[in-house]
């Protein structure tokens, strides 16, 4: 086994053994260990030219003590990392929550799934969290102490959820909620009773918000021909369910019409009026309630309508709006269609693209419109000035679904299904967050004993103007 010396740049490596029973590639690997020059970059001068990987040592005539010259550039030496690997379980809880991509679940304190699912849905609203962060610690004079305590407790609970990956026990919030609304503290045989999540949702929004100006109903008497207009504030649009209702939009239309009996000045007696409502102000977040429960006298409890009612990921309420609001929505909707067309590679029509500047000028002349751009949430003012540059379009994207499983509002189980900022959906079953596929969210439409949508929350799609 001959021994040679190898010169590389300014270095000389003496007594390098060559195993002639192995191909020259193995010798190159030895030099790689010494110099850091990969075999494919090595150029070793031998008799007859450069040393090839599969050459025959016998024909090369390499002798013991011979000097070989090698050329080639070494790889950069890999430096050891300044910091060692950090495992997720070693991170602070707040950083773990960011790494996981969703926040913590809520412990069930005894039939409190109605409260947990409500909190998880509302917790998904960034504007609400920002408003609560700025909420003062001291109570204002025009706010009652219990409302102040509940708002502060909501802020603290949201903060806990943002900083934790372990299940959070909402004990303080639940205590304050029962103090403000005693109906949530009902007991049966010493156990906390199940409550209606819609009632919890509405009462919490009532506390956190000012009223939202929404449907403006028009009352028409079919007998006398009288008409009158009234304005009322609501916290959610109702989807009434009947044999004719198969889709959310049909239920919303049905819910905006009703009959009532009132005194008619013309007839001088009570008469039946047809009440038709239209939306005259849109919120940034729209709450829709499926009216699935009704009072059943036979069983003396709230019974559930199991009928399947489909609902979309994208909801357009333009045709449910008043004429004045529809006019305000036309320009933003044109701009939205243009932007979506560009994304799809479609060429905008000349009359549309040419009217864009005029639309903006017209909007500036009219001033910011609260009717078309309320920064409130189906009855929830988000605590800050509305964004004057963003105009609502009447189109909404689904961001949360609160479902109920069971046959009665006072029993069964409530679960929240919430869309994260990343676009992923998480099922919050009390203290167990479970990732879900978006295509499975719209399957919670009813028709059996599985989880079915009870409350849907939609986020407005807006355009800058």
The C-alpha atoms of residue 96 and residue 433 are separated, in whole angstroms, by 14
Which listed residue (113, 200, 221, 321) is catalytic?
Answer: 113
According to DSSP, residue 51 is labeled P
3-state secondary structure of 193: coil
Which listed residue (220, 247, 254, 413) is catalytic?
Answer: 413
Residue 240 annotated in active site? no
According to DSSP, residue 236 is labeled S
Picking from 258, 255, 254, 265, the residue whose alpha carbon sits closest to that of residue 223 is 265
Residue 413 annotated in active site? yes
The C-alpha atoms of residue 69 and residue 54 are separated, in whole angstroms, by 19
Query: Where does 195-309 show beta strands of DSSP type E?
Result: 218-221, 227-229, 237-240, 257-264, 269-276, 285-291, 293-296, 301-304
3-state secondary structure of 318: helix
Q: In which order are the strands placed within the sheet that holds 43-46?
A: 11-17, 3-8, 67-71, 43-46, 49-50
The C-alpha atoms of residue 292 and residue 302 are separated, in whole angstroms, by 9
Picking from 380, 338, 384, the residue whose alpha carbon sits closest to that of residue 359 is 338
Give the DSSP letter string of 167-185: PB--HHHHHHHHHH-GGGG
3-state DSSP of 76-144: CCCCCCCCCCCCHHHCCHHHHHHHHCCCCCECCCCCCHHHHHHHHHHHCCHHHHHHHHCCCCCCCCCCC
Q: Is 241:305 a contact under the CB 8 Å cutoff? A: yes
Q: In which order are the strands placed within the sheet that holds 218-221?
A: 227-229, 218-221, 269-276, 257-264
Active centre residues (catalytic): 113, 413
């Amino acid at each position: 086994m001959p021994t040679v010396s190898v010169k590389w740049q300014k270095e000389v490596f003496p007594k390098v053994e060559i195993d002639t029973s192995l191909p020259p590639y193995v010798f190159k690997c030895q030099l790689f260990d010494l110099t850091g020059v990969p075999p494919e970059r090595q150029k070793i001068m031998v008799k007859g030219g450069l040393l090839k990987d599969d050459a025959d040592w016998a024909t090369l005539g390499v002798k013991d003590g011979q000097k070989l010259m090698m050329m080639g550039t070494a790889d950069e030496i890999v430096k050891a990392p300044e910091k060692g690997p950090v495992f997720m379980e070693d991170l602070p809880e707040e950083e773990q929550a960011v790494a996981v991509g969703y926040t913590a679940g809520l412990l069930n304190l005894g039939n409190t799934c109605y409260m947990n699912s409500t909190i998880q849905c509302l917790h998904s609203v960034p504007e609400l969290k920002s408003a609560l962060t700025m909420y003062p610690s001291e109570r204002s004079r025009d706010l009652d102490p219990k409302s102040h305590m509940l708002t502060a407790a909501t802020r603290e609970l949201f903060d806990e959820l943002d900083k934790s990956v372990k299940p959070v026990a909402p004990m303080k919030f639940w205590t304050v909620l029962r103090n403000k609304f005693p109906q949530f503290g009902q007991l049966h045989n010493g156990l906390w009773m199940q409550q209606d999540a819609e009632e919890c949702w509405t009462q919490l929004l009532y506390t956190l918000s000012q009223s939202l100006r929404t449907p403006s109903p028009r009352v028409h008497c079919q007998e006398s021909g009288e008409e009158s207009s009234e304005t009322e504030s609501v916290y959610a649009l109702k989807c009434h369910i009947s044999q004719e209702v198969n889709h959310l939009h049909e239920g919303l239309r049905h819910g905006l019409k009703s009959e009532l009996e009132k005194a008619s000045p013309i007839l001088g007696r009570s008469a039946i009026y047809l009440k038709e409502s239209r939306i005259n102000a849109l919120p940034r977040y729209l709450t829709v309630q499926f009216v699935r429960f009704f009072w059943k006298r036979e069983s003396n409890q709230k019974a559930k309508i199991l009928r399947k009612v489909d609902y979309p990921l994208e909801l357009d309420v333009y045709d449910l709006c008043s004429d004045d609001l529809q006019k305000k929505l036309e320009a933003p909707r044109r701009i939205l269609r243009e932007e979506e067309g560009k994304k799809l590679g479609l060429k905008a029509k000349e009359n549309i693209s040419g009217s864009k500047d005029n639309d903006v000028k017209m909007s500036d002349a009219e001033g910011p419109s609260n009717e078309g751009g309320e920064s409130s949430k189906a009855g929830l003012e988000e605590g800050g000035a509305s964004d004057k540059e963003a105009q609502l379009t009447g189109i909404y994207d689904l961001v949360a679904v609160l479902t109920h499983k069971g046959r009665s509002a006072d029993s069964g189980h409530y679960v929240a299904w919430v869309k994260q900022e990343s676009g992923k959906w998480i099922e919050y079953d009390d203290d167990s967050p479970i990732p879900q596929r978006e295509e499975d969210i719209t399957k919670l439409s009813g028709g059996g004993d599985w989880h079915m949508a009870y409350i849907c929350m939609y986020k407005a799609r807006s355009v800058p103007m």
